[in-house]
A and B are shown apart, each in its own frame.
Chain A
């Protein structure tokens, strides 16, 4: 049977367009050292290291975990490298959690990162060819599909863009700090992939995130509150096939229902206190609210419109500022898990949602086809 596992330490870098003063190793270590300190542990206390990142072509190093092993205390230990496209940061946490849940290890360090300034992500996303459409170009038709299905007004995306950037002002690690952002500015920013404007899109960031996952004994010994992994699941579906619903992917629906079932949640919008969802383009907030049955069909954008997803609203989404504020691609999924965990640990600082006891972390990737989700709780069920 699966044993209890908890996030007992969280660390992340200050995310930025370029962390030129750090090597890739230095970037990962900044997050890892912080996670170890948060957990009250040292490198020698770690039993295994799990590293996750998005395509290696983004930095131009094939299987960089091989050289990063030296700087992440992995020598002499088991090391795994997870790669599930954009969802990888999330699935890396899950793989690390499984190592503890299975009883094989007691304390596992998971690190996810991207140093996009050292490569060219647009070139990478284009497969090295001309005419690349970027990630936004791939998702824009699905966003248009959502807008048509639900008759959502065009300002919903702008609203999410403003909310997340203002939330980021309360997150000292966030890449984008845009105190003067307004709906008007978002609407006026250049159109990149109709209907997505520049200010509705994630930045390209250098950044890393690390978490320490421990078993029950490690959680009890940890100096700060643990975030118990009370549910976790992954689901994948093929990228393209005739009749695929890419607006509301079945894999996303199934993944959500699996974690709700594990956590015995029957009314997610009521029972979950805060959610960190992977929203790299503004419209994905209402789309994931519906795509994970937090809101009914056509109701996701209304939650946004009512202000439900604001920090003071009934279902806060991305109080950290989310992917719209920091997007080191490989790390972004882990940041969602780490930020959700920090909420139930009471460690979210200025962007803490008061009284948060149940938090949802979600990451997606590829052609909106890979999903990793987890529910964190402040108490062991």
Chain B
């Protein structure tokens, strides 16, 4: 079986909200049940399950274990977990399903960002010897990256505001978006910086949410649906962690992953990018060589909905949705891990030929 013969046949996401009173396992179960229902499968036919979440985000060691309650793990299942966005759980399942002995996989990702303060939490995600003691927070890293981009002449603050205005406007038609609105970029530029050169509109919110996807081998996919969304390629690459040791204005790992995933200059109709800052959208667009013929983040992207640890799966879902409904012939989803675009995954999706 060729690696290209794996398709997405079902998906679901919980609406992204600032604060959910549902527990993470409850959110996961909601997403998993909906994805299973959309795929039209019996959960007992699932051959492999993989989840993505982060203990530190959830707030305790072994916190991910509770989410297993939502995975339909009885009778016992073949299951694994990554301490990463659910998109990497999808990658692991995509690898596993190629062995040929199973034809269905469930992947999900989840996170509740509401209990913690990102500025307090994410310094813990940095090199404990050299960076964390500096108290370097994610907003500052984003700002340093944005400043580098401006200084390199690769973007202007107006570009950032234009990306924000477009995303927030697009998010208005996304029922799952947490943030949305109709803004004139010129008005946005009048706001004060929250961390120069970033303004509030340049920074993705954080959401509580879960998302799930069902993968199937080609034969199974065609039996389940008239519009399977095929994963034509998927790859990911990580870069050096130390932000001072890489060019923050470019994303070579995104370029490399896209190439391995089969981008190769072909037309991309829709790209869902995990740009957590408007500045990152500029960087990613360049890294992927996306031009005016590509619609970027029609869902509104992370600026509209950013359920950390599920946000990557949401990008894949939004891209898949548009392939399935015919809006896009070929779509690309990008997911990031770490800070300042350290680790990037690219997935190329297409309908059946």
Contacts and interface: CB of A to CB of B under 8 A. Distances in A.
A240 B314 CA distance: 30
A238 B72 CA distance: 9
Given A24-B128, A99-B95, A81 B76 contact: no
**Taking each of A24, A60, A67, A104, which has the highest tally of chain B beta carbons within 10 Å of its own beta carbon?**
A67
A241 B80 CA distance: 20
Contact of B65 (A75, A255, A366): A366
Given A66-B241, A234-B79, A55 B68 contact: no
A58 interface: yes
A250 B73 CA distance: 11
Given A24-B128, A57-B61, A367-B65, A69 B83 contact: no
Nearest to B127: A67
Nearest to B260: A78
Interface in A80-118: 80-85, 91, 94-95, 98-99, 101-104
Interface stretch (A122-130, A166-174, A214-222, A300-308): A122-130
Contacts of A99: 95
A2 B75 contact: no
A61 B98 contact: no
A69 B342 CA distance: 10
A66 B61 contact: no
Interface in B72-129: 73-84, 88, 91-92, 95-96, 98-101, 121-122, 124-129
A34 interface: no
Interface string A245-272: 0000111001100100000000000000
Given A55-B55, A238-B69, A366-B65, A80 B88 contact: yes
A76 B256 contact: yes
Interface size for chain A: under 10, 10 to 19, 20 to 34, or 35 or more residues? 35 or more
Contact of B124 (A61, A84, A91, A258): A61
Contacts of B277: none
Given A56-B83, A67-B126, A81-B83, A1 B76 contact: no
Contacts of A124: 61
Contacts, number: 175
Interface residues of B, number: 61
Interface string A38-77: 0000000000000000111111111111110110001111
A101 B98 CA distance: 9
B11 interface: no
A226 to B, nearest CB: 20
Contacts of B69: 238-239
A66 B125 contact: yes
B188 interface: no
A219 to B, nearest CB: 18
Contacts of A57: 55-56, 60-61
Contacts of B55: 55-57, 83
A238 to B, nearest CB: 5
A325 interface: no
Contacts of A125: 61
B3 A104 contact: yes
A369 interface: yes
B100 A1 contact: yes
B176 interface: no
7 contacts: A2-B101, A62-B124, A63-B338, A67-B131, A67-B241, A70-B241, A77-B238
Interface of B: 1, 3, 54-57, 60-62, 64-66, 68-69, 71, 73-84, 88, 91-92, 95-96, 98-101, 121-122, 124-129, 131-132, 235-242, 245, 253, 256, 337-338, 342-343
Across the A-B interface, the 7 shortest Cβ-Cβ residue pairs: A55-B61, A251-B76, A62-B56, A67-B127, A83-B83, A57-B61, A62-B124
